[in-house]
Amino acid sequence: MTEINSVTTLTHDGDVAVITLNSPPVNALSGNVRQGLYDGFKAAGASDAKAIVLICEGRTFIAGADISEFGAAAGTPTASLFDVQDMMENAKVPVVAAIHGTALGGGLEVALCAHYRVAVPSARLGLPEVALGLLPGAGGTQRLPRVVGVETALEMMTSGRHVPAPEAAKLGLVDELAEEGKLKEAALAFANKCVAENKPLVKISENNTKLEAARGKPEIFAAFRKANARKFRGFAAPEANIKCIEAAVNSASFDEGLKAERKLFGELMMGSQSAAQRYYFFAERQAQKIPGIADDIPLRPIKKVGVIGAGTMGGGIAMNFANVGIPVVIVEQQQAPLDKGLATIRSNYERSRTAKPEETAKRISLITGSLSMEEAFADVDLVIEAVFERMDIKKDIFTKLDAICKPGAILATNTSGLNIDEIASVTKRPQDVIGLHFFSPANVMKLLEIVRADHTADDVIMTSMKLSKQIGKIAALVGVCPGFVGNRILGQRQREAQKLVLEGAMPWDVDRVLYDFGFPMGPFAMSDLAGLDIGWVKEKSNGETIRDVLCEADRRGQKTGAGYYDYDENRNAQPSAFTEKVIHDFIVKSGANPRKIDDEEILERCIYPMINEAVKILEEGKAIRASDIDVVWVNGYGWPVYRGGPMFYGDLIGGPAVVLKKMQEFEAKMGDQFKPAALLEKLVAEGKKFSDLKG
Ligand code: CAA
């Protein structure tokens, strides 16, 4: 065995040279890896090997470029990815890439320079750069459509989808599927077969057949852009990916296409969107790390889950566990709501069709119902309460759980803002009590706020964090405070949106500004969608707020055809003259003078107080680090990921000094609600950024 460098070895197996990479955790293409590959291929090429296999140790094949290198200062000069690719593609003997785990981004781009690819069925292949606000910048945009065709390449590159190996084999991306666990043997056998059969050294860059099929058909691209306009709104990267494939089709040569790719890659790399999306990639992973708790702390096994409440929330929560094979028992007080809840779960599964019918049936069978907590919860490892938001009801439930559940069971509440310490205080085991705040619809929304109460044990926190990953959620650990992190910050935006309307902006002005910023919808459109009458009581309504008056006029949102907006039969929203009059009457009654409010003020009034509140949350220790707040807002509240989150955005627009100045201005004009956080002033005094708040 020859050690090429610290992450690369070269061995020989008969006539085949085997280059093995071992650079944990994911064999990303750092400088060291690129140099190892370059030197490895050079040495293999100079040996008497008749074929070369590239294989990786550890959990995966190369999962892409090393994202942490992007934007960082250049280190010691090393071989570039292009050098490595040239060396592979122009090797004099067949090169076979042996793929397990994931071949993503630069990893797939490397594999596409091998003459052949062998993969185990569990492997996944893709060009996910779009998710980082980028495009595949190492020839992937030019090679992929040459293999899979233009339409499939458009879909793969703009979605970033990780394609399972069996599908990749059908698409021609993989030449042979190996038996699981026998990758090396299969790759060696394939390499020997190449030699024995004198198979050609296939260079993807030289095969234009699939591109020619799309030449002179701009309608392919026009139709794709049109069909995906909503999905791509606001993002720069999907369009740049499409342009690269257009360049592949229309360029006179592979090299000309590469030039277009390089140029567009550079533009994206320099832009703020990719910076935000790359930051966000690490923010999500950082959020899983809890200072003071070892990552390998023994976890509590979760083999069976109980849920209290068969409503929309309880049902959605239950589905998450059934989806990963964990049995769930739901408890309700009455048979009718229990039956209704279970029926809703069934129909949700049947409608969503995300799994094969037999898998769907299995998931449904894992969710059972009961009318008795005593019977249902004696053996559960985790119970999640998802009932009405009233402290007395929650306390009553936790008193019972304390008496019923086995020692060590985790007792969780899905409260969206009640004091969990108070809930825990009725039990004799506050160390087992935690908040698991799911977002509605709980089977769809990615965010999970995990709420640490005063006495919550470390292993309960870590078990919850790991469980969240198992059920496909993105978790952030937060502390007990009204509204926790997400809703507490949302409260600022809601307040300002309402106030702006009473000062002269129309709801559709506020919504438009926030929509253009990148939110899926503004607060008023959101209220109409959710129903204006949530929490509204007809008997107590006395026209005190705009919402009261709208509900009294039976304008309760989309479901009644009118709310803040008027809706046509297809639920298309139109500004409403009725709402405008209601607002006008309120302003007149208050004696205020409506004024013209420009878009800039709307945005600043909505966003700056959110950033200020986030800083207060950090100051109080209710979130660990600034980036956790961004994880909450991107995942749970539709903050556009290409703006990173409120904290990243705060730095992007100039940092704490800019936010402080604006908050002081607002405070002077409009009072205490805009009082800057003490920590904001401290950051400015110390010349720090929001991203310096790292916990
Ligand atoms: N660069 C640097 N670090 C990476 C990385 C990458 N490409 N991919 C993953 N990591 C790191 C993660 O930050 C994480 O580090 P910590 O343990 O310190 O938090 C560790 O590897 C494990 O990652 P995950 O927790 O995400 O592990 P997973 O098993 O859940 O997922 C994965 C594995 C599917 C590979 C996932 O990490 C992933 O999707 N990675 C990104 C893949 C990607 O986008 N590749 C394209 C890169 S851009 C490119 O290649 C441009 C080009 O054209 C040259």
C-beta 102 within 6 A of ligand 1: yes
**Is residue 60 pLDDT above 80, yes or no?**
yes
Report the CATH architecture of 2-269: Alpha-Beta Complex (3.90)
* pLDDT averaged over every residue in the chain: 96
Contact, 314 vs 308, CB < 8 A? yes
C-beta 66 within 6 A of ligand 1: yes
> By C-alpha distance, which of 508, 506, 450, 452 is closest to 479?
452
Residue 276 Cα to ligand 1 midpoint, Å, equals 16
C-beta 132 within 6 A of ligand 1: yes
Contact, 125 vs 163, CB < 8 A? yes
**Is residue 357 pLDDT above 90, yes or no?**
no
Cβ count within 10 A of residue 287: 24
Residue of 70 and 507 predicted with greater confidence = 507
Look at residue 354 in the predicted model and tell me its pLDDT: 76
Q: Give per-residue pLDDT as tens, 412-463.
A: 999 998 999 999 999 999 999 999 999 989 999 999 999 999 999 999 999 9
Look at residue 635 in the predicted model and tell me its pLDDT: 95
Look at residue 75 in the predicted model and tell me its pLDDT: 75
Residues β-bridged to residue 125:
103, 163
Residue of 479 and 593 predicted with greater confidence = 479
Cβ count within 10 A of residue 695: 16
Pick the CATH number of 599-692 from 1.10.1040.10, 3.30.70.1400, 1.25.40.340, 1.10.3720.10: 1.10.1040.10
DSSP 545: S
Alpha-carbon Rg of the chain, whole angstroms?
28
CA separation for the pair 651, 645 (Å, rounded): 10
Residue 636 Cα to ligand 1 midpoint, Å, equals 22
Half-sphere exposure of 70 (CA within 13 A, CB side): 26
For ligand 1, atom 10, the nearest C-alpha belongs to 26
Look at residue 351 in the predicted model and tell me its pLDDT: 86
Contact, 465 vs 475, CB < 8 A? yes
Look at residue 574 in the predicted model and tell me its pLDDT: 96
DSSP 213: T
Mean pLDDT for 71-77 is 75
134 — pLDDT class (breaks 50, 70, 90): very high
295 — pLDDT class (breaks 50, 70, 90): confident
Residues β-bridged to residue 10:
2, 19
Q: Which atom of ligand 1 is nearest to the CA of 136?
A: 53
**Is residue 69 pLDDT above 90, yes or no?**
no
DSSP strand pairing (51-56 vs 102-104): unpaired
412-428 burial: b if 16+ Cβ within 10 Å, else e = bbbbbbbbbeebbebbe
Q: Which atom of ligand 1 is nearest to the CA of 106?
A: 50
Mean pLDDT for 463-469 is 97
> By C-alpha distance, which of 612, 625, 642 is closest to 691?
625
Contact, 624 vs 291, CB < 8 A? yes
For ligand 1, atom 32, the nearest C-alpha belongs to 63
DSSP 559-602: GGTBSSEEE-TT--EEE-HHHHHHHHHHHHHHT-------HHHH
Residue 280 Cα to ligand 1 midpoint, Å, equals 12
> By C-alpha distance, which of 429, 398, 432 is closest to 415?
398
74 — pLDDT class (breaks 50, 70, 90): confident
**Is residue 554 pLDDT above 90, yes or no?**
yes
Distances in whole angstroms, Cα of residue 85 to Cα of each of 79, 103, 112, 408, 661: 10, 15, 9, 54, 51
Q: Which atom of ligand 1 is nearest to the CA of 107?
A: 50
Residue 288 Cα to ligand 1 midpoint, Å, equals 14
C-beta 597 within 6 A of ligand 1: no
Torsion over CA: 454, 455, 458, 462 (sign): negative
User: What is the residue whose two structure tokens read 């950051």?
Assistant: 683
The boundaries of every CATH 1.10.1040.10 domain in the chain are 504-590, 599-692
Question: Rounded to 5, what percent of the chain is helix, strand, coil?
Answer: 50, 15, 35
Mean pLDDT for 32-49 is 97
Distances in whole angstroms, Cα of residue 57 to Cα of each of 81, 117, 121, 188, 357: 20, 17, 17, 16, 36
Ranges of beta strands (E only) in 323-428 are 328-331, 367-370, 382-385, 410-413
Listed range (152-161, 311-320, 532-541) with the worst mean pLDDT:
532-541
324 — pLDDT class (breaks 50, 70, 90): very high
Q: Give per-residue pLDDT as tens, 622-666.
A: 999 999 999 999 999 999 999 999 999 999 999 999 999 999 999
> By C-alpha distance, which of 65, 72, 71, 135 is closest to 106?
65
3-state secondary structure of 75: coil
Percent of the chain with pLDDT over 90: 93
Contact, 383 vs 377, CB < 8 A? yes
For ligand 1, atom 28, the nearest C-alpha belongs to 26
Percent of the chain with pLDDT over 70: 100
CA separation for the pair 679, 539 (Å, rounded): 44
Contact, 146 vs 204, CB < 8 A? yes
For ligand 1, atom 20, the nearest C-alpha belongs to 25
Confirm whether 109 is a catalytic residue.
Answer: yes
Residue 105 Cα to ligand 1 midpoint, Å, equals 10
**Distance from first CA to last CA of the chain, Å, rounded?**
45
The boundaries of every CATH 3.90.226.10 domain in the chain are 2-269
Alpha helices in 8-139 (DSSP H): 31-46, 81-89, 106-111
The boundaries of every CATH 3.40.50.720 domain in the chain are 305-480
> By C-alpha distance, which of 646, 618, 612 is closest to 631?
646
- Residue to probe by mutation, ligand 1, list 67, 156, 288, most atoms within 8 Å of CB: 67
CA separation for the pair 13, 308 (Å, rounded): 60
Mean pLDDT for 659-684 is 97
Catalytic residue (one of 89, 109, 385, 496)? 109
Catalytic residue (one of 89, 129, 449, 496)? 129
Contact, 16 vs 192, CB < 8 A? yes
**Is residue 314 pLDDT above 90, yes or no?**
yes
33 — pLDDT class (breaks 50, 70, 90): very high
410 — pLDDT class (breaks 50, 70, 90): very high
Residue 273 Cα to ligand 1 midpoint, Å, equals 18
Q: Give per-residue pLDDT as tens, 139-197.
A: 999 999 999 999 999 999 999 999 999 999 999 999 999 999 999 999 999 999 999 99
Residue of 644 and 537 predicted with greater confidence = 644
Question: Which CATH number describes the domain made up of 305-480?
Answer: 3.40.50.720
CATH 1.10.1040.10 fits 504-590, yes or no: yes
Mean pLDDT for 267-271 is 97
Torsion over CA: 464, 467, 469, 472 (sign): negative
User: What is the residue whose two structure tokens read 């903050």?
Assistant: 639
**Is residue 488 pLDDT above 90, yes or no?**
yes
C-beta 238 within 6 A of ligand 1: no
3-state secondary structure of 188: helix
Residue 26 Cα to ligand 1 midpoint, Å, equals 6
Residues β-bridged to residue 96:
53, 116
